[in-house]
Amino acid sequence: MPNLKDLKTRIESVKNTRKITKAMQMVAAAKLRRAQDAAEAGRPYAERFNAVLGGLAASVGNAEGAPRLLAGSGSDKVHLLVVMTAERGLCGGFNSSIAKLARQKAEELTNAGKTVKVLTVGKKGREQLKRDYADAMVGHVDLSEVKNVAYSNAQDIARDLLARFDDGEFDVATIFFNRFESVISQIPTSQQVIPAAFETDDDGSESTVYDYEPSEEGILTDLLPRGVATQLFSALLENGASEQGARMSAMDNATRNAGEMIDKLTIEFNRSRQAVITNELIEIISGAEAL
């Protein structure tokens, strides 16, 4: 049984930890509001932009003259996995869920005889994947100095991806991130960005016929690179909100656990102190009787 000094020191240590986790929870709650607003504000534009590109892509198809970002390289041998995680930890399973999804995809592609390359955005994703895929890593984007993610950050990543695609370094690029649903729910998501892939809308809600000037191919050539940047920016915003939500939830659980531990240690401390007092009384009484 630990002595009273050790128990008292441990109780003070857990109390200090609880103060830290409580402070981190409050900071995450404040950041979550802004990050959630940014993610939700960016969804309508991204969805509508993708819908317009999807309509253009459907009309062009894989016909001759279609942009390479739409038609692809003609092969799917080399896959680039863009794993987007946080720069910091202490946010529950946020980072590990993204890394797990990327690892599953990499194993699936490897078993199918494909070549896998990995580009990480965020330190935690690199740390988790470098053990198994150190040889496959071709780049890393450090956003640790970025306080608020901006569209320019997504543009920089998009330029890197497009340059690698033009140089023939990969055939298919897929991004991995967490889509924000609520404070306690973030959904690990994979999305192909190169060549462009769009969800087909078969409900027939839009039957308007458009005439494009210049041609659909010319418009797609200009818009598809912007579409890659838009998808990356949307993923960064979703990741930002998911990270703060996961950190808020994790710190709330840590604060509760610290409180429960303090209660248990306090009970143990009181019992130990009572045992010490009882032993002292017994010694005093025994001494008095001996006299």
Task: Measure the CA angle with vertex 146, ends 142 and 150; round to 5°.
Answer: 105
Instruction: Give the amino acid at 241.
Output: A
HSE on the CB side for 51, CA within 13 Å?
10
Tokens of 282: 């017994």
Q: What is the end-to-end Cα distance of the chain in Å, rounded?
A: 32
Name the catalytic one among 35, 84, 91, 235: 91
The yes-or-no answer on residue 91 being catalytic is yes
The whole-angstrom distance between residue 38's C-alpha and the CA centroid of its chain comes to 16
Tokens of 153: 């950050």
The whole-angstrom distance between residue 102's C-alpha and the CA centroid of its chain comes to 11
* CA-to-CA separations, 156 to 27, 230, 236, 248, in angstroms, rounded: 29, 12, 13, 29
Residue with tokens 């001759």: 64
- Strands 185-194 and 78-84 come out as unpaired
Q: How far is Cα 268 from Cα 7, in angstroms, rounded to an integer?
A: 8
Query: Active-site residue numbers?
Result: 91
